[in-house]
Amino acid sequence: MLFPAISLLLLAYTNRFLAIASVVRKLHDDYFQDKDKDLALLQIRNFRKRLRYIRLMQGAGVFSFLLCVVCMYSIYEGWLTIAKYVFAASLISLLFSLICSLVEIFLSMDALEVVLRHVEED
């Protein structure tokens, strides 16, 4: 049951990473074209935090997926006690990944607030 859920979650995480990477590259270009550097620096700080959380959530998601594979193998071999513990660890890893995702969403909202404040000031 976790296989499809984790696969879709990792796809969503990858899409989120690619979107941020695109925005960071655009921000880089804007920064070196002498556009608003103060705003760019605020956004860069936010992106650094967000990228750390994305790295954590992707890592925890992949680890959860690996533990699911180990759990399936343990069930196949009849090691049910081990399978229970590995499955529990997989769920904990998935929970950690989801918490990191939630924190990253809040950081994303903060980034949008910075841009909106800048627009209101002009």
Question: Per-domain residue ranges for the chain?
Answer: 2-121
Distances (CA, A) of 98 to 51, 55, 64, 85, 89: 15, 12, 11, 20, 14
For 29-48, the pLDDT digits (tens) are: 776 776 677 777 788 888 88
More confident residue, 56 or 25: 56
Q: What is the pLDDT of residue 34?
A: 67
- Confidence (pTM): 0.77
Confidence of residue 2 (pLDDT cuts 50, 70, 90): low
Both tokens of 80, joined, read 């049910």
